[in-house]
Structure 1
């Protein structure tokens, strides 16, 4: 399975539509900030345009998406995986959108206790799967993926705790544009693809045969 994972679209989907015109993918995962503070109707419009390529799309909201995102994504052709889980063959996928509190009072922020309770409940539904993908907008705390240029780590401590406890195969996140990169928490690979509106994305190759090869994860420029 070939998965294209992106985050932080901020209303600009041109990089992904150009890519899909010339390249194939089996699944598209969007890790939040589909819009830049709305409007709510734009969420549905953008997701439907990406879905028009005939490839399944799974998405979560970011902290810069309007609170009504949940309704709009359910009305689109994409699958909403915020605080939900989906199983495709031997692959379990779950998500949690928005972010831990920021200094900017953005539309979709959650207290750490709510992040832990709801995201943990979602990931528990896929624990028995051979491969597990944990899709979050906020990165886990104290990794290369949540590091500001100032040297401060601003990710979610609850998401890190969940990853330490459950050890999903992959955590795909976003939110911190300057922290595109990969890291490890135990056996979990953490990937922040970077800002799609700047052409950054992540390509995930999952072998079809169980145990045939290792999963390959690569940050690419679209």
Structure 2
């Protein structure tokens, strides 16, 4: 190659090189579950939400937002959320269905600005949040099978349906960082501390099987008030039980995670 050719090559680099993946700054996520806001307004979370806003970029709420699924409870939570100045992502829990007013509860929380996930995904700050409530069913070889009475088959069908909703949500994620938001647990490790007899009602391995088919950075859930803070899916995805009652590294009701 002549000197002129070398000079020309240096000044005209190849144009078909793949673009570098854009760098994203870490996203600070505060995650909490099982606030169980009561109709009598016995506890306000305004100060907690203001504190979280100063420490995190996103607040994630992993179900049982209300105590009995009453619209008045949802209104109280919505009022408290006005002190939160960061985006809020959430899923519902079993308590939020108790009174049969779940559609009204959903509307109130969405009107308050919450990204309420029911098999959908939303991207914030370069992180995709995919969420469903999840359901019961048990773990590993003790997982309930679809056999016998119609009531048992209906229960298993609901568990499978929630896992399929989660899969659909994860398929919507386009970012390289993803957080799964659940209420029910996907693994038994983070419900350890609860009576073993109720493990089948605290979550399902079907959720973990779905999670491990995708590149998931972290999973948060609640529901098991006396469970354990951290564990991993069989595929290695970090799982955190963020029920308000669980002891966390922050020493506060919420966990702080960085993705």
TM-score range, shorter chain: 0.7 to 0.9
Q: CA deviation at 1:98?
A: 5.5
Q: 163, 172, 176: which one pairs with 1:130?
A: 176
Change (3 A) 1:75 1:20: closer
Question: Does the 8 A contact of 2:178 with 2:218 survive in 1?
Answer: yes
Distance 2:228 2:45 in 1: 17
- Structure 1's unaligned 5+ residue stretches are 103-108, 207-222
Distance 2:244 2:88 in 1: 18
The aligned residue for residue 204 of structure 1 is 257
The aligned residue for residue 139 of structure 1 is 185
Work out the number of aligned pairs and report it.
Answer: 198
TM-score (norm 1): 0.78
Distance 1:86 1:75 in 2: 16
Cα RMSD, aligned residues only: 2.7
Distance 1:75 1:138 in 2: 25
Q: 60, 78, 81: which one pairs with 1:29?
A: 60
Which piece of structure 1 moves more, 182-191 or 73-82?
Answer: 73-82
Q: CA deviation at 1:194?
A: 2.5
The aligned residue for residue 214 of structure 2 is 166
Q: CA deviation at 1:187?
A: 2.7
Distance 1:89 1:21 in 2: 20
TM-score (norm 2): 0.67
The aligned residue for residue 85 of structure 1 is 121
Question: Does the 8 A contact of 1:145 with 1:192 survive in 2?
Answer: yes
Q: 83, 89, 94: which one pairs with 1:58?
A: 89
Q: 228, 238, 244: which one pairs with 1:180?
A: 228
Question: Does the 8 A contact of 1:48 with 1:78 survive in 2?
Answer: no
* Rg (Cα) greater in structure: 2
Question: Does the 8 A contact of 2:91 with 2:182 survive in 1?
Answer: yes
Distance 2:246 2:193 in 1: 19
1:114 aligns with 2:161: yes
The secondary structure found in structure 1 opposite 2:213 is helix
The aligned residue for residue 76 of structure 2 is 45
The aligned residue for residue 18 of structure 1 is 48
- Structure 2's unaligned 5+ residue stretches are 1-26, 139-154
The aligned residue for residue 149 of structure 1 is 194
